[in-house]
Structure 1
Amino acid sequence: MQHTLVMTGASRGIGRVAAEHILRRSDHAHLLVVARGASGARLAAELGAGGHAVSHVSADLGSLGSVRSAATAIRDRLDRGELPPLRGFVGNAGTQYTNALTETPDGFESTFAVNVLANHLFVRLLQDRFVAPARIVITASDTHFGDFRHNLGMVPPPAWKSPDVLVRTGAFPEPDTAAGGRTAYATSKLAAIYLVHEYARRLPTGIDAVAYNPGFVPGTGLARDAGPLTRFAMRRVLPLLALTPFATSSNAAGRYLADIVLGTTRAPTGSYVDRGRADRSSPESYDLRREGELWEAAERFTAASAAGAEA
C-alpha cells in the first residue's frame, strides 16, 4: 500500500543516505522531505531521479511559525488526497552551535528549538493524520550519556534544568563558548529521549515512537557553525575514526536509520536504538518526573503555533 513518510534532515549526511535507502528498498514509499527554501525542490528532484515518489515542503526549523506552516501544508495535502496515507515521521534534522546564546525569532534558544520543539510541533500537528501502523523516529545522540566511553570527552555532559530555563539563551555556564553550545546540544538530545518516552505513553496504539542514536558520525554538518580548525578536523581527520569502534560512517549510520524507519530493526515503541539494535539509553534518561515536566512545557511553548495550525 502506498504511504507517506515525512522526513527532516534528508539533504546531507546520514539523512541523505537514509532517504536513498528508503526509496530504493520500499516501492510503496512517498518520501516528503522538509527543507529550507529552494533547496527542498532541488533535493526532491535529486532523490526522485529514477522514478521514486518524492515531494517537498519548505520550512525553517528554527521558526515555529514556519514549522506550523509546513505541517499545515502536509495536513492539507493529505486531506485532499494528494498524498497517500501518512505512516511515518523522521525527525533527523539537528543543529549544534558554538555558543548557547543563539536565539530564534520566537525568543527560544536555537539548539533547543530545532532539536526539541520543532520535532514536537510536527508530531503534535500530524498526530491525528497518522494511519496505523505508523512510526515516528527521532534522531538522538549518545552525547546524552555524558561520559568518556560514549563521546571521547569531546562533548560536555547534559546539564538538565527546568525546561523554562533550557528554552532560553544563557542556560549553561560560559554560554558564549563552544563548551556552552555543546552542553546545549547534549541536553537537547536528552530532552528528545524524554519526549520519545512520552510519545510512547500518549500516542494512540499503532503509532510507535523510537529514538535513534547513530553514534559519533564524523563529517556531518553539525560542525558547520564551528571555527575553521574544528571544521577541518571534522571533515578530514575525525572521519578516520569510522574505521574504529569509536565512530560510525555516514553510510552505515544512514543505513541503520533506514532500517528503523522501514521496520527491519525490531524496536518496540519507546525504544532507544543504538545503531542497529534496541538498547538502554543512559540511566538519567529514564525519569518520569522530567518527562512529564518537559511534555507540559513543550505543549506550552508550541501552543500558539499549534492552535494557529488547527484553527
Structure 2
Amino acid sequence: MQHTVVMTGASRGIGRIAAEHVLRRSPGVHLLVVVRGSQGARLAAELSEGGHTVSHVPADLGSLESVKSAAAEIRERLELGDLPPLRGFVGNAGMQYTNALTEGPDGLESTFAINVLANHLFVRLLQDRFVTPARIVITASDTHFGDFKHNMGMVPGPAWKSPDVLARPGAFPKPDTAAAGRTAYSTSKLAAIYLVHEYARRLPAGIDAVAYNPGFVPGTGLARNAGPVARFAMRRILPLMALTPFATGRGAAGRYLADVVLGTTSTPSGSYVDRARAARSSEESYDPRREGELWDAAERFTAAYAA
C-alpha cells in the first residue's frame, strides 16, 4: 500500500543512508524530505533515481514559523491527494553547537529548538493526518547517559533544568564554551526521550513513537559547526573507530534507522532502540514528572505556531 513518510535530516550521514534503505526496501513509500534552503530539489532528484518516489518541502528547523509553514504544506498536499496517506515521521535532524548561546529567530536556544521543539511541532501539526498503523521515530543519542561507557568522555552528560531555562541561551555554566554546547546537545537528547515517552501516553492508539540511538557515529555532519581541528578529526581520524566496538559505521547506523522506521525492528510505543535492538535508556530518562513538565513547556513554546 502506498503511504508517505516525512523525514528530516535525510541530506547527509545516517539519514541519507536510512532514506536510501527505506526507499529500496519499501517500494510503496513516498518519502517526503524536509530540507533547508535550496538543497531539497537536488536531494529529492538524487533519491528518486531508480524510480523511487521522493518529494521535498523547505524548512529551517531552527525557526518554528518555518516548521509551521512546512507542516501546513504537507497537510495541504495530503488533503489534496497529492501525497498518499501519512504513516511515518522521522525526526532525524540534529545540531550541536560550539556554545550554548546560539539564538534562533524565535529567541530560543538553537540546540533545544532544533533537537526538541521542531520535532514536537511537526508531530503536533501532523498528528491528525496520520493513518494507522503509523510510526514516529526520533533520533536520540547515548550521550544522554552521561558516562564514560557511552560517550568515552567526549561529551558531558546532560544537566537537566526547567525547560523554561533550557529553551533560552546561556542555560549552562561558561555558556560560550564548546563544553556548554555539548552539554546542551546531550540534554536535548534526554529531552527527546522524555517526549517520546509522553507521545506513547498521549497519542491515539495506532500511532507509535520510538527513540532511536545510532551510537557514536564518526564522520557525520553533526560537528559541522566545530572548529577546523575538531572537524578534521571527525572526518578523518574518528571514522577509524567504526572498526572497533566503541563506534557505529554510518552504513550500519543508517540501516538500523531504516529498520526502526519500517518496523523491521518491532518495539512497543515509547521504546528506546539502541542500534539494532530495544534496550533500556538511562535511569534518568524515566521520570514522569520531568516528562510532563517538558510536554507542558513544549506545548507553550509552540502554541502560537500550532493554531
Name the TM-score class by shorter chain. over 0.9
2:49 matched residue in structure 1 = 49
CA distance in 2, matches of 1:28, 1:186: 36
Q: Deviations over 1:242-299 (max 9, x none)?
A: 0011000000000000000001001110000000000000000000000000000000
CA distance in 1, matches of 2:47, 2:32: 10
2:64 matched residue in structure 1 = 64
CA distance in 2, matches of 1:220, 1:101: 23
1:77 shift after superposition: 0.3
Alignment of 1:84-233 (within 5 A): 84-233=84-233
Q: Deviations over 1:165-219 (max 9, x none)?
A: 0000000011000000000000000000000000000000000000000000000
CA distance in 1, matches of 2:54, 2:268: 28
1:220 shift after superposition: 0.6
**Aligned residue type for 2:77:** R
**Aligned residue type for 1:151:** N
SS in 1 for 2:132: strand
2:255 matched residue in structure 1 = 255
Deviating 4+ runs (over 6 angstroms): none
**Aligned residue type for 2:34:** V
1:267 matched residue in structure 2 = 267
CA distance in 1, matches of 2:263, 2:297: 31
**Aligned residue type for 2:86:** L
CA distance in 1, matches of 2:58, 2:121: 15
Q: Deviations over 1:129-186 (max 9, x none)?
A: 0000000000000000000000000000100000000000000011000000000000
1:50 shift after superposition: 1.4
CA distance in 1, matches of 2:305, 2:219: 34
**Aligned residue type for 2:107:** G
1:40 matched residue in structure 2 = 40
CA distance in 2, matches of 1:271, 1:283: 14
Q: Deviations over 1:94-136 (max 9, x none)?
A: 0000000000000000000000000000000000000000000
CA distance in 1, matches of 2:151, 2:109: 23
1:5 matched residue in structure 2 = 5
1:38 shift after superposition: 1.1
TM-score between both structures, scaled by the size of structure 2:
1.00
1:24 matched residue in structure 2 = 24
**Aligned residue type for 1:26:** S
CA distance in 1, matches of 2:50, 2:229: 39
Using the aligned pairs only, state the percent identity: 83
SS in 1 for 2:297: helix
TM-score between both structures, scaled by the size of structure 1:
0.98
Structure 2's unaligned 5+ residue stretches are none
**Aligned residue type for 2:295:** W
SS in 1 for 2:120: helix
CA distance in 2, matches of 1:14, 1:157: 23
SS in 2 for 1:221: coil
2:282 matched residue in structure 1 = 282
Count of aligned pairs = 307
Structure 1's unaligned 5+ residue stretches are none
